[in-house]
Amino acid sequence: MRPPSVPVPADGAVHRADWCPVGDAATFRLDGHVATITYNRPDALNAVNGEMRRDLNDAFLRFRDDEEAWVAIVTGAGRSFCAGADLRDGTGSTGEFAGTFWEKPTLNSFESGWEIFKPVIAAVNGYCLGYGLTLASWCDFVLASDRAEFGLPEVKLGVPAIVASIRLPQRLNWADAMELLFTGERISAERALAMGLVWRVVPHDTLLDEANALAARLLEGAPLAQRAMKEMAMRTRHMATLEAIRFGETMRHVAGGTRDAAEGRQAGAEQRPPRWTGR
Ligand code: COA
């Protein structure tokens, strides 16, 4: 039996071998500062069943809390990114967590309090449907293979796509969002690019190289400054301008007091590349 998630050690030390294990239905790999989270049920086109939901939650929890993980790439094993909720598994995509009115934060809806401010790249390698599209539309960058297809089949199953109904109108033109929500039809990567759902379309075989190249560019920036900016961008959507600026100035002082901010100033004065530590 798979061990339960292990909390981050109280001393803050990262004992990576035994800390927050992630299962097989979704995998977590850390290369330097780049975490790759992979949907890993290729025989079911990476449909989300209870096991995958649990493993994805563990993977994102680990990404959020591992001080060495600065950027994430999310992708799918095989020919699909994620075919949405598993329609055949009895436990359903909710797994052990059936949801409550006061929903605890999970990948079901990141906005409900599970706050991850590190940059996340979706490397969409194939079908990106239902929950798959919901997750991709939460990512900072949606990099798509020219074979990718996007869609929200929920309406054809007689159910609403709730989080996509919240998120897509914030990200796309109203009519484009409603087209996806109301028709349930799949669209090509090119059409998704034209809508602004996708950031860039690349040849299929180069997808992961392109995602890693983007991750390398992101690592050139100071990780804590990036997190401060993402938190600003996310939180201030719902703030009045004055409160947003007051919050921003506080964040400027918090981020400005880090070792990396001192390193950035020193590297600038010495005209050398900075060496970030994420501290
Ligand atoms: N849940 C469970 N299994 C799924 C699945 C899902 N959402 N989507 C695909 N699979 C399985 C298929 O049952 C099939 O399994 P099998 O080989 O054991 O028969 C395998 O994945 C391959 O799927 P297949 O339909 O043969 O591939 P395809 O390329 O012809 O079609 C899709 C791909 C994604 C268009 C099609 O599988 C589909 O429409 N899936 C359902 C998508 C959906 O409605 N998701 C729910 C969103 S809320």
Write the CB contacts of 191 (distance below 8 Å, at least 6 apart in sequence). none
Mean pLDDT for 16-28 is 69
pLDDT of amino acid 101: 53
pLDDT of amino acid 14: 39
Closest CA to 148 of 184, 107, 185, 202: 202
pLDDT of amino acid 78: 98
Per-position DSSP letters for 37-76, written without gaps between them: EEE--GGGTT-B-HHHHHHHHHHHHHHHH-TT--EEEEEE
The runs of H, that is alpha helices, within 70-206 are 131-136, 162-171, 174-183, 189-195
**Is the pLDDT higher at 115 or at 14?**
115
pLDDT of amino acid 57: 84
How far is the centre of ligand 1, averaged over its atoms, from the C-alpha of 199 (Å)? 26
Q: Ligand 1: which atom is nearest the Cα of residue 161?
A: 48
Ligand 1 atom 45: residue of nearest CA: 84
Ligand 1 atom 28: residue of nearest CA: 45
- Please report where in the chains the tokens 């020219």 appear, as a residue: 146
How far is the centre of ligand 1, averaged over its atoms, from the C-alpha of 40 (Å)? 14
How far is the centre of ligand 1, averaged over its atoms, from the C-alpha of 137 (Å)? 21
39: exposed, middle or buried (Cβ count in 10 Å: 0-12, 13-18, 19+): buried
**Is the pLDDT higher at 163 or at 273?**
273
Ligand 1 atom 42: residue of nearest CA: 83
How far is the centre of ligand 1, averaged over its atoms, from the C-alpha of 148 (Å)? 15
CB of 128 within 8 A of CB of 164? no
How far is the centre of ligand 1, averaged over its atoms, from the C-alpha of 86 (Å)? 8
pLDDT exceeds 50 at position 183: yes
Q: Which of 40, 45, 127 to mutate to test the pocket of ligand 1 (most atoms within 8 A of CB)?
A: 45
Ligand 1 atom 6: residue of nearest CA: 86
- Average pLDDT value for the chain: 88
CB of 247 within 8 A of CB of 235? yes
The runs of H, that is alpha helices, within 116-270 are 131-136, 162-171, 174-183, 189-195, 207-219, 223-235, 241-256, 259-270
pLDDT band at 97 (very low <50, low <70, confident <90, very high): low
How far is the centre of ligand 1, averaged over its atoms, from the C-alpha of 88 (Å)? 9
Write the CB contacts of 141 (distance below 8 Å, at least 6 apart in sequence). 119, 120, 121, 122, 199, 200, 214
pLDDT exceeds 90 at position 104: no
Does pTM top 0.85 for this prediction?
yes
Closest CA to 130 of 202, 44, 231: 44
Residues having CB closer than 6 A to ligand 1 are 44-45, 47, 83-88, 127, 129-130, 153-154
